[in-house]
Amino acid sequence: MTLTAAPRIHPRLRRRELGLLVIAGLALAVGSMTLELTRRLAAGDEVATEPGLPFANPAALAIYLGAVFAAHAILVLTGRRTDEVLLPTVGLLGGISLLLMERLPQDLAGGLGLGTTQLVWLTTSIAVITAIAAFIRSDAWLRLYKYTWAAFGVGLLLLTFVLGREVNGQRLTLAIGPFSGQPSELLKVILVVFLAGYLSENRALLVEQSTRLGPIRLPPLPYLAPMVAMWAIALSVVVFQRDLGAALLFFAVFLLLLYVTTGRASFVALGLVAFAAGGAVLYEIVPHVRTRVDIWLDPFATASGAGYQVVQALHAFARGGILGTGLGAGLPEVGSLPPGGIPALHTDFPLAALGEEMGLIGVMAILGLYLVVIERGLRIAASAADDFRAILAAGLSLVIGVQAFIIAAGVLKLIPLTGITLPFISYGGSSLLTNGLVVGLLIALSDRGVGPPPPPTAQRGLRRVFDRGAA
């Protein structure tokens, strides 16, 4: 990474970002008051007699909002002409997460407790966004070393296979010394970086050439290799790690980026056929996959057994109705033991808890926030200076969007449920830090400053030759 010389920095006001942040801050303050008033009503306290404004855990909210506004201030001071919508959007999502985690039983996480731990990770995530958005000005470190990154990613995956700690029957967590995390979260970013490098480099070939197999036009066979590799990696992640969600995410983002690059729907169709075939085989041979699909087809058949989690989530949505029960007025037992407890509520099912307390309008608002992230990301991609940046920005925004879609659709029984986090809302450090990295990169990529595109590399030169040849 290169830091630009100090004299070029001129503070630049970000009025739109400030306005949106104020709105988000007010919304979170109102949410916090709702939580506290609901708690006092339930406890039978006299609302009026307690001194001060009724905020639930005002210190936590103040620290979080302080971090978000500090991020805004740093972006103003560094004066870059970057996106002003992503930070408030993500800030609101994170704030909703904070309110939810403050409200759930605190013993769901050890140590500091659920709410405080999440606050630490949220502020760290905001710090990551800020650092990357403010200071990263070159993408050469990503562009030049894509195979290094890919090797790093595969190594991480192998390391998890071998050393991973098994939690809930899934080998997802890698612990080195006191640090532990879920490498699949970081892997999705590495994947996007690699794909952006590979696809932008081979774009002309992928667009132009075909291998004819009778009436079927296949992608050029040599360049099919990464596709097959991706397919194999996705399936092996399913088989060895039993991580359906990550596999689905990797493959979906890969297909979407392939389409973005080539504009050839036949590639996507081919990928879907391969995915369906792989899925059908996995359904037959991997019991875990079969269980998930069977639960999806009829969770109510096993409402007190395998389908319990899904059915309880649907009940939670139903209880919320259109307007919701109000923050804090959902089931008090939520998250703990039955009845009413949804296992893994804070990691996999936060949308169900929010659906109960904020209702359909709340769910639609949250879905809308994710759509804003996707739309801003695609906008950044469309106005990017070159193919690499365009594909990178598209991939980063799609990683968040598709991940949100997969878990939301699973919780709403539109697709089989796969355990994966809801970006910026689910509890967990790996997820928050990685998604902070993603959003930070997106903001950095959106820079419309005067800096020229990065210098051409040897690979770009080679590509020019190819381009000329094709034309």
Partner 1 sequence: MTLWSSLGGSAQSNAAREPARRPGIGTTLGRIGLAMSVAFGALAAGAGYWQVFQASELSSAPDDAAVIAASRRVVRGEITDRDGERLAWSVEDENGEPYRVYLSRSLSGVVGYASRTYGTAGLERAFDAELSGVTAADPVQDLLKKFRADPSDPQALRTTLVASLQQAAVGALGDDSGAVVMADPRTGEVLVLASTPIYDASAIADPATSTATFQALAADDVGRPLLPRATQGRYVPGSVFKIVTAIAALGSGAVDATTTFEQQPAAEEDGLLVSGFRIRDGHHPRTGTRALDFIEATEVSCNIWYALAGLETGGDRLVDWAGQLGFGAALPFDLPTAVSQVTGGDGPAPGGFLDDVELANAAFGQGETFVTPLQMALATSAVANDGVIMRPHLALAFSGKAGTTTISPEEWRRVMPARIADQITAAMVEAVNGDLGVGYTTGAQAPGLTVAGKSGTAELGGEGEPNSWFIGFAPADDPQVVIAVVVEHGGRGAARAAPIAGSLLAAWKAWAGQ
* Distance between CA atoms of residues 350 and 91, nearest Å: 17
Is 426 in a helix, a strand, or coil?
coil
Burial, 124: exposed, middle or buried (Cβ in 10 Å; 0-12, 13-18, 19+)?
Answer: middle
Stretch that binds partner 1, among 61-69, 83-91, 152-160, 309-317 (CB under 8 A): 309-317
For helices 146-163 and 183-201, give the axis angle rounded to 10 degrees.
150
Would you say 183 or 328 has its CB closer to partner 1?
Answer: 328
Residue type, 334: V
> Applying CB under 8 A, which of residues 279, 299, 320, 419 lies at the interface with partner 1?
320
Six token digits for residue 219: 């992608």
Q: From 4, 6, 23, select the one nearest 15 (Cα to Cα).
A: 23
Residues 374-393 that bind partner 1 (CB under 8 A): 374-375, 378-379, 381-383, 387, 390-391
Would you say 69 or 259 has its CB closer to partner 1?
Answer: 259
Would you say 171 or 315 has its CB closer to partner 1?
Answer: 315
Would you say 20 or 128 has its CB closer to partner 1?
Answer: 20
Each residue 4-43 as x (binds partner 1 by CB under 8 A) or -, in order, gives -------------------------------------x--
A 10 A CB-CB count for 2 gives 11
Give the nearest distance from C-beta 348 to partner 1 in angstroms. Answer: 16
According to DSSP, residue 300 is labeled G
Each residue 400-419 as x (binds partner 1 by CB under 8 A) or -, in order, gives -x---x--xx--xxx-----
366 within 8 A of 93, measured Cβ to Cβ:
yes
Determine the number of helices (DSSP H) and then strands (DSSP E) in the chain. Answer: 17, 5
Residues 142-201 that bind partner 1 (CB under 8 A): none
Would you say 108 or 255 has its CB closer to partner 1?
Answer: 255
Would you say 18 or 365 has its CB closer to partner 1?
Answer: 365
Q: From 359, 277, 272, select the one nearest 321 (Cα to Cα).
A: 359
97 within 8 A of 425, measured Cβ to Cβ:
yes
# chain residues binding partner 1, by CB under 8 A: 64
57 within 8 A of 116, measured Cβ to Cβ:
no
Query: Interface residues with partner 1 (CB under 8 A)?
Result: 41, 207-208, 256, 259-264, 303-304, 312, 314-326, 329, 331-333, 338-341, 355, 359-360, 363-364, 367-368, 370-371, 374-375, 378-379, 381-383, 387, 390-391, 394, 398, 401, 405, 408-409, 412-414, 467, 470
